[in-house]
Amino acid sequence: MIQSMYSKLNISKEVFDFCNGISEELSQRFTEIDLVAEYNQLKVIYSMQQNKVSDTHFAATTGYGYNDLGRDTLEEVYASVFNAEAALVRPQIISGTHALTVALFGNLRPGDELLSPIGKPYDTLEGVIGIRPTKGSLMEYGISYNQVELLPNGEIDYDHIKKAISPKTKLVTIQRSKGYAIRLTLSVEQIGELITFIKKINHRTICMVDNCYGEFVQKIEPSDVGADLVVGSLIKNIGGGLAPIGGYIVGKNDYVENAANRLTAPGLGKEVGATLGLNQVFFQGLFLAPQVVASALKGAIFTASVFERLGYKAFPNATEDRYDIVQAVNMESPEGVIAFCQGIQEAAPVDSFVKPIPWDMPGYDAPVIMAAGAFIQGSSIELSADAPMKPPYTVFCQGGLTWHHAKLGTMKALQQLVNQKIIQL
């Protein structure tokens, strides 16, 4: 009966048999993922219980949003989950890039230097920093930037980081996930080692972690290993697929307050900001997030397993430990990238009939193709795939609110490649 349903979704018997055999081989790996999800689920429940979450916290506020008990309690829950002093969790933050911008502008001043110790950050931050000349960038405000590349083997170059840190280095930004780069995602343990190294050189240096795509993949978060600020988006992992907008900034009290003053206004900080009835989905999304992340991880491992079996290079490979939900596959050609993304789109519950094509997306230096038939626009915890249309033609796949949808997405991607005679089974 299952095969007949796949057949209705235009999955051929050869693709079904090929993929089903691989998924059956992954049962032990999936059990390990479920154990991490169980731990994180209990952590979230404990934090909600300790902060006495009630349905009174789901009430809407408007206007200035003074005395929003739900908003304040949600931020206390986030601080507890992340083992942090304070949290800023707001629908007024529109994306991960916006959350990072708020944290950077809130904590940097003219004459300060920003350092990235793991190479260039994600493309959309180039304009924020000023690497790509942009109105309103940090560089326009007299904030300089420096970066240290990773070693050729992908490891952190501690020697050059030590040389790069100067008295001007006010903040170090550490991107956990790979972005559009072929490098290993950093584990929380590696991030902790890097932070310890930086703090020994100058204990006043603020260490901020871009946590996008990494929440609940491990049992600990960067704030557990010394990060002063941890930043992310609610329409990625931690929103659980329910949050329709928003971002979070957690960490040390002073640094979070600085960010709040940038988000609202100096002197207002966290005291204002109406939640407009969104508190309930923010709480419930956080509650569901550990299980949703587990589904996305299973989908990523399945994708790597399928395409490695066909001779493609996957990053990380099918057997490596996972530290985020992103799966990269080198499709070797623009045709391969487009077919893959069109297959992912065909698997979507929303806009499955749309064919994604490359376009000049703001914030990127090359045309980008994006497949995302999502309930929430731009939600990267829902199944999606995207790629810059430039060599080496690597597609980045992430998300999946359920494991079975993630599985279907990979099968549809493979089916498209078979239909277009790019792959032969």
Kindly list the structural domains of the chain, giving each domain's residue range(s) and its CATH number in brackets, ordered by start. 2-41+287-419 (3.90.1150.60), 55-277 (3.40.640.10)
Q: What is the mean pLDDT of residues 292-314?
A: 98
Q: How far apart are CA 59 and CA 277, in angstroms?
A: 6
Q: How far apart are CA 221 and CA 142, in angstroms?
A: 32
CA distances from 29 to 221, 312, 320 (A): 21, 21, 11
Confidence of residue 295 (pLDDT cuts 50, 70, 90): very high
pLDDT attached to residue 184:
85
Query: Which pLDDT tens digit goes with each residue over 219-238?
Result: 999 999 999 999 999 999 99
Q: How far apart are CA 385 and CA 296, in angstroms?
A: 12
Phi, psi of 412 (to 5 degrees): -70, -35
Arithmetic mean of pLDDT over the chain: 96
Q: How far apart are CA 295 and CA 405, in angstroms?
A: 9
pLDDT attached to residue 363:
66
DSSP per-residue letters across 67-126: T-HHHHHHHHHHHHHTT-SEEEEETT--SHHHHHHHHHHHH--TT-EEEEBTBS--TTHH
Residue corresponding to tokens 């299952």: 2
Query: Which pLDDT tens digit goes with each residue over 141-158?
Result: 999 999 999 999 989 999
Confidence of residue 169 (pLDDT cuts 50, 70, 90): very high
Q: What is the mean pLDDT of residues 42-56?
A: 98
**Looking at the predicted structure, is the pLDDT value of residue 63 above 70?**
yes
pLDDT over 70, % of the chain: 100
Strands (E), 239-334: 247-251, 313-315, 327-330
Using N-to-C axis directions, what is the helix angle for 279-309 and 69-81, rounded to 10°?
Answer: 40
Q: What is the mean pLDDT of residues 190-215?
A: 97
Is the backbone peptide bond immediately before 392 cis, with ω within 30 degrees of 0?
A: yes
Q: What is the mean pLDDT of residues 15-28?
A: 96
pLDDT attached to residue 364:
72
Q: How far apart are CA 159 and CA 406, in angstroms?
A: 41
Confidence of residue 134 (pLDDT cuts 50, 70, 90): very high
Strands (E), 104-183: 113-116, 144-147, 169-175
pLDDT over 90, % of the chain: 95
What are the respective helix, strand and coil percentages of the chain, to the nearest 5? 45, 15, 45
Both structure tokens of 334: 């623009």
**Looking at the predicted structure, is the pLDDT value of residue 180 above 90?**
no
